[in-house]
């Protein structure tokens, strides 16, 4: 922050907020607070309103995988009998539990675990392991697939609201404190404001040239994941939107000569982040978005009962809708952001997202007529990343795009 400016930059604020958040979590018990591990997509608003600090082992794993610690941590857990087929986040986390090695000084141990299966089923099993290890309760928030039947959806919401009430009872038991619903209403309001701003930030990818790439989205989504429901998250996304809007207004794009606007399917290959960006840039290609980064674009309806709007939002994430609806969500992004190609990653780590990819490719290419590249690898373990092969395939795909463009397709 400069002396003259009143507001910090989003980058500065992100650092300050992250440090503060981790400090709070590490000193939670000293301040009469509790630490709960939870999944990135989960009704964390219930924690925030009850002085329970959410910690995301997935985020910690991302930090480790980005620093290329994936193989080392995985090998540690493989030695204890786990298989390398599991999710790289889980492997990294269980490896950290064994070795104590971390890219960010570790995370505090949990008092409580919440697994929401709208995101995936893996987390439930991973958290079961942690629940046994730390002898702390595990609450599974079960979100049945958000199938397209209005009657069924109504019943799903009822089931989920009943579970959220059970979760509140479990939190009251954990803390010995009565739940404060007025405070929840306030938290919901912050969460809704931050979500609106986060979505606005993501939607700036619609500008031509785009002032953001998916790599920006992946960096900036961190705050909404772990500080959702706080005024700090609202402030952060307001500052971020202002910064990006200024770039868009000046016509500043991430890629100066933006020729290809691409869709990315799946989570990123965390340890190849920069390499992928640079490779694409050299061809004038920018990956604008993915459904993954939109998973935190919630649309809370504050006029509704908070538990009902939480249930609706957490059930309807892209990872929990039908394949048909997921394809429609992706096609909506295609239209809104004027994209003209896809890179689709079949991620060995993430069955929940990857098992649909072959069929999604079929639907998206049939509907848009734009080409798509599929490649298989792992988001966090370089042992499953075939450097030369994947690079060649991406280059060949970009050359195809060039030829199509030259031919006026």
Partner 1 sequence: MVEQRNIKPAALTRLQEIANDPYGCLADLRKRKRIIGSTLADVPEELIHAAGLHPFLILGTNNPIRHSAALLPDNSCSLARSNLELVVGYQSAFFDGFVLSQVCDTTQHLGDIWKRKFPDHYFENFLTPRQVARPSARAWYAEECRRLRGALEQYAGRAITDAALRESFALYNENRALLRRLYAIKREAPALMTNREFFDAVKAGFFMDRGEHNELVQAVVQWAEQTKDHQASANGYFRVICVGIVVEPPALYDMIDEVKGTIVADNLCTASRYIFYDVETKGDPAEALADRHLRKPYFTPINEDVRRIYADLISLCRDNNGEAIFYVHIKYCESQDYDLPDIKAAMRTEGIPFLELETEYQTTHLAQLKTRLQAFCESLFTKGAQGGVR
Closer residue to partner 1, CB minimum distance, 191 or 320:
320
Closer residue to partner 1, CB minimum distance, 5 or 83:
83
Minimum Å gap between C-beta 168 and partner 1 is 12
Closer residue to partner 1, CB minimum distance, 49 or 350:
350
Q: Report how far residue 71's alpha carbon sits from residue 349's, in angstroms, rounded to the nearest whole number.
A: 13
Please calculate the CA angle 349-354-359 and round it to the nearest 5 degrees.
165
Reply yes or no: is the peptide bond before residue 2 cis, omega within 30 of 0: no
Minimum Å gap between C-beta 160 and partner 1 is 9
Q: How far is CA 73 from CA 68, 106, 160, 346, 348, in A?
A: 10, 13, 35, 22, 17
Closest CA to 114 of 144, 89, 140, 142: 140
Q: What's the order of all strands across the beta sheet hosting 52-55?
A: 52-55, 34-38, 112-116, 138-141
Minimum Å gap between C-beta 320 and partner 1 is 8
Judge whether 118 and 144 are in contact, CB under 8 Å: no
Closer residue to partner 1, CB minimum distance, 141 or 263:
141
Minimum Å gap between C-beta 364 and partner 1 is 13
Judge whether 45 and 26 are in contact, CB under 8 Å: no
Closer residue to partner 1, CB minimum distance, 44 or 346:
346
Q: Report how far residue 111's alpha carbon sits from residue 142's, in angstroms, rounded to the nearest whole number.
A: 20
Q: What is the b/e burial string over 249-271, where b = at least 16 CB atoms within 10 angstroms of the residue's CB?
A: eeeebbbeebebbbbbbbbbbbb
Chain residues binding partner 1 by CB under 8 A are: 80-83, 85-86, 90, 117, 120-122, 124-126, 128-129, 131-132, 138, 140-142, 144-145, 147, 151-152, 155-156, 158-159, 162-163, 166, 322-324, 346, 348, 351-352, 354-356, 358-359, 376
Phi (first) and psi of residue 27, to 5 degrees:
-110, 20
Minimum Å gap between C-beta 149 and partner 1 is 8
List helix spans (H) across 262-386: 273-281, 291-294, 306-315, 323-337, 351-354, 357-368
Minimum Å gap between C-beta 256 and partner 1 is 37
Minimum Å gap between C-beta 328 and partner 1 is 13
Minimum Å gap between C-beta 277 and partner 1 is 26
Closer residue to partner 1, CB minimum distance, 210 or 290:
290
Closer residue to partner 1, CB minimum distance, 197 or 360:
360
What letter does residue 146 receive in the DSSP assignment? B
Q: 3-state class of 226 per DSSP?
A: helix
Beta bridge partner(s), residue 286: 261
Distance in Å from the first CA to the final CA of the chain: 47
Minimum Å gap between C-beta 326 and partner 1 is 8
Closer residue to partner 1, CB minimum distance, 163 or 195:
163
Count of alpha carbons within 13 angstroms of residue 106, beta-carbon side = 12
Closer residue to partner 1, CB minimum distance, 275 or 325:
325
Closer residue to partner 1, CB minimum distance, 105 or 151:
151
Minimum Å gap between C-beta 40 and partner 1 is 15
């Amino acid at each position: 922050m400069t002396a003259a400016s009143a507001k910090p930059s989003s980058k500065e604020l992100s650092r300050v907020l992250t440090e503060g958040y981790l400090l709070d979590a590490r000193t939670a018990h000293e301040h009469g607070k509790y630490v709960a591990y939870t999944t990135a997509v989960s009704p964390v608003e219930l924690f925030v309103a009850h002085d329970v600090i959410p910690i995301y082992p997935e985020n910690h794993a991302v930090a480790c995988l980005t620093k290329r610690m994936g193989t080392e941590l995985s090998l540690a857990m493989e030695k204890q009998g786990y298989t390398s087929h599991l999710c790289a986040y889980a492997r990294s986390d269980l490896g950290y539990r064994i070795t104590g090695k971390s890219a960010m000084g570790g995370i505090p141990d949990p008092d409580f675990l919440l697994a929401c299966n709208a995101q995936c089923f893996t987390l439930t099993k991973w958290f079961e392991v942690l629940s046994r290890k730390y002898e702390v309760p595990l609450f599974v928030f079960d979100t049945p697939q958000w199938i397209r039947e209005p009657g069924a959806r109504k019943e799903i919401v009822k089931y989920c609201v009943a579970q959220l009430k059970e979760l509140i009872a479990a939190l009251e038991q954990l803390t010995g404190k009565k739940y404060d619903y007025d405070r929840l209403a306030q938290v919901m309001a912050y969460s809704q404001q931050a979500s609106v701003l986060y979505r606005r930030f993501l939607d700036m990818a619609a500008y031509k040239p785009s002032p953001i790439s998916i790599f920006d989205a992946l960096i900036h989504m961190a705050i909404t994941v772990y500080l959702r429901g706080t005024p700090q998250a609202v402030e952060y996304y307001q500052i971020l939107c202002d910064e990006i809007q200024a770039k868009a207004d000046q016509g500043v794009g991430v890629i100066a000569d933006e020729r290809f606007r691409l869709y990315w399917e799946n989570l990123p290959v965390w340890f190849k982040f920069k390499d992928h960006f640079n490779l694409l840039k050299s061809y004038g290609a920018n990956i604008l978005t993915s459904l993954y980064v939109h998973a935190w674009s919630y649309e809370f309806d504050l006029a509704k009962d908070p538990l009902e709007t939480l249930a609706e939002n957490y059930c309807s994430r892209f990872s929990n809708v039908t394949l048909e609806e997921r394809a429609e969500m992706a096609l909506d992004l295609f239209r809104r952001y004027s994209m003209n190609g896809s890179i689709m990653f079949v991620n060995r780590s993430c069955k929940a997202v990857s098992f649909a990819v072959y069929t999604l490719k079929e639907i998206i290419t049939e509907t848009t007529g734009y080409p798509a590249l599929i490649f298989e690898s792992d988001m966090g373990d370089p042992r499953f990343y075939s450097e030369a092969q994947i690079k060649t395939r991406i280059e060949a795909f970009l050359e195809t795009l060039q030829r199509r463009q030259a031919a006026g397709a």
